[in-house]
Amino acid sequence: MSNAKYYQFKPFNVGRLVVWGAFALLLIVAPLVFSSSLALTVLSQMGYTIIICLSYNILLGQGGMLSFGHAVYTGLGAFLAIHALNLVGAGKLPLPVSLVPLVGGIAGAAVAALLGWVTTKKGANTFAMITLGVGELVFAMSLMFPEFFGGEGGISSNRVVGKPFMGISYGPQIQVYYLIAVYCFICTGAMFALTRTPLGRMLNAVRDNPERVEFVGYNTQVVRYIAFIIAGFFAGIGGGLTALNFEIVTAESVSAVRSGGYLLFTFLGGAVFFFGPIIGAMLSVLALVLLSEMTKAWLIYLGVLFMVMVMFAPGGFSSLIMMNLRVAAFGKFRRLWASYAGLAATLLIWLVGAAAMVEMIYHLQLDAGSGDEVRFMGSTLNIQSRGTWFAAAAVFAVGYALFELVRRRFKQEWGTIQEEIEKELQRKGNA
């Protein structure tokens, strides 16, 4: 029976073992390959951002719930965790530091249980509006209760408390990284497992057609509510890890800006596939840590990227990858190489022109006090010289024209290939 493969759960499924093994290996090896302190910072942040974006995608991708207030759960998890850490430090709470993120998780789940029943009453727009309201409410509370939220300075702590256990004191960043990595692996596994359970599947059903779900025996609100609490739990763990990582939590961590960031990067990574948010989380840290170092105008680039993705690739980077893998699986990827190279080259020209202008405008408007010169890609641009502007505009225009030419050709090729694949699939289906 060919059906057998859908039935038996095979814990030693080879493909699955390889993927998860590679993931674990990557988490272990990454800090050995990228060993600078900056790299370690980036990797640590990636670890918990992956947990947070995946937890966000339980709502967005799995359940079709567009939340504008996910930072409430990560943030409150972080606050509870750092208070717990302070209690541990004061000797009032006998808890190993390794388990402090779990305090965040339980806090996240508890807050989600408290606020979730109202929030999940309806899906779609109502849900989005309520999360926005709850987010503002909690942020306002953060200013009203400085004892808990620490006011402007936030709450700080020290993770090196108690006696080192087997040499682990969490003093060195590398030890914190590996703690984050362990949490990241377990949480990712747990959230993937969730998608394979009755609740996980009914959550997909609620996303696709909440009305019909009510006619097959399920209360949609209960499905959403339980999923919301689970998402809150993992969000809280992520928050708890931020508390350990930075040893400080400020009111900003429950803000709408933070919530918007989780939404944006989960979307960029792609909500359709389980692994999409992992890509999104990695991008998020790269943008926040590296791009923001490279240019002050980084938010503009991020905004443009987001807009372009919403318009042209609403499935995010993960679905771009999956679409190309499909082409590759049918042995047609080689035909796209030339186009991809062309696209990359012309896009680069276009971007250089655009970025030069953006940087100059940014400098002119916000940074004019520091002189007329902008450092850009190893060269110096003078914002007073008309020639510089003209050159940038020319590069921009030429880049765009070339890109458009290549893009049209690519679009045609892509369409042909997709048609061929559809035909092959149909032939197989009929056979």
Partner 1 sequence: MSQGSVSTSGGWAIELDDVRKNFGKTEIIRGAKLQVKAGERVAIIGPNGAGKSTLFNLISGRFGLSSGQIRLHGERIDGLRPFEISRKGLARSFQVSNLFGKLSVFENIRCAVLWSQGYRYVFWKFLADLHDANDRAEEVLKMIKLDKKRDIAAVNLTYAEQRALEIGITIAGGASVVLLDEPTAGMSKSETSRFIQLIREVTVGKTLLTVEHDMGVVFGLADKIAVLVYGEVIAFDTPDAVRANPRVQEAYLGSVLAERQADQQAAGH
Query: Do residues 181 and 27 make contact, with C-beta atoms less than 8 angstroms apart?
Result: yes
Q: Quickly list DSSP for 303-317.
A: HHHHHHHHHH-TTHH
Report which residue type is found at 417.
I
Residue 223 near partner 1 by CB under 8 A: yes
Contact, 248 vs 154, CB < 8 A? yes
- Chosen residue from 201, 335, 408, 423 binding partner 1 by CB under 8 A: 201
Piece of the chain touching partner 1 by CB under 8 A; list 90-98, 219-227, 295-303, 407-415: 219-227
Cα separation, 293 vs 39, in Å, equals 14
- Cβ nearer to partner 1, comparing 212 with 423: 212
CB 269 → partner 1: shortest distance, Å?
19
Does 202 engage in binding with partner 1 (CB under 8 A)?
Answer: yes
Residue 106: CB minimum distance to partner 1, A? 17
Q: Report the amino acid identity of residue 102.
A: L
The DSSP annotation for 256-272 comes to: HHHHHHHHHHHHHH-SS
Q: Residue 230 interacts with partner 1 (CB under 8 A)? A: yes
Handedness of CA 192, 197, 199, 203 (dihedral sign): positive
CA distances from 386 to 30, 208, 344, 382, 391 (A): 47, 55, 29, 9, 9
Binding partner 1 (rule: CB under 8 A), the pick from 94, 198, 369, 378 is 198
Q: Which residue has the tokens 């709408």?
A: 256
Among 113, 128, 199, 345, interactor with partner 1 by CB under 8 A: 199
Q: Is 421 in the site for partner 1 (CB under 8 A)?
A: no
CA 131, CA 424: separation in Å to the nearest integer? Answer: 45
Length of the chain: 431
Please count the helices (runs of H) and the strands (runs of E) in the chain.
19, 4
| 12 scored as a contact of partner 1 (CB under 8 A) | no
According to CB under 8 A, which residues from 42 to 101 bind partner 1? Answer: none
52 versus 230: smaller Cβ distance to partner 1: 230
DSSP string, 202-244: HHHHHHH-HHHHHTTT--HHHHHHHHHHHHHHHHHHHHHHHHH
Measured between alpha carbons, how far is 18 from 32 in angstroms, rounded to an integer? 21
Q: How far is the CB of 372 from partner 1 (least distance, A)?
A: 55
- Using the contact rule CB under 8 A, the part of the chain among 6-14, 69-77, 166-174, 383-391 near partner 1 is 6-14
Does 194 bind partner 1 (CB under 8 A)? Our answer is yes
7 lies in the site for partner 1, by CB under 8 A: yes
337 interacts with partner 1 by CB under 8 A: no
169: amino acid identity, one letter: S
Which C-beta is closer to partner 1: that of 213 or that of 249?
Answer: 213
User: Minimum Å distance from CB 19 to partner 1?
Assistant: 17
Binding segment (CB under 8 A) for partner 1, from list 49-57, 214-222, 283-291, 301-309: 214-222
Q: Which of 152, 214, 404, 419 binds partner 1 (CB under 8 A)?
A: 214
State which residue, 35 or 197, has the beta carbon closest to partner 1.
197
Cβ 429 to partner 1 shortest distance, Å: 8
Q: Cβ closer to partner 1: 228 or 396?
A: 228
Contact 350, 403 (CB under 8 A): yes
Does position 9 interact with partner 1 (CB under 8 A)? The reply is yes
- Rounded to 10 deg, the angle between the 37-57 and 173-194 helix axes is 20
* Site of interaction with partner 1 (CB under 8 A): 3, 6-9, 193-194, 196-202, 204-205, 207-209, 211-219, 222-223, 226, 230
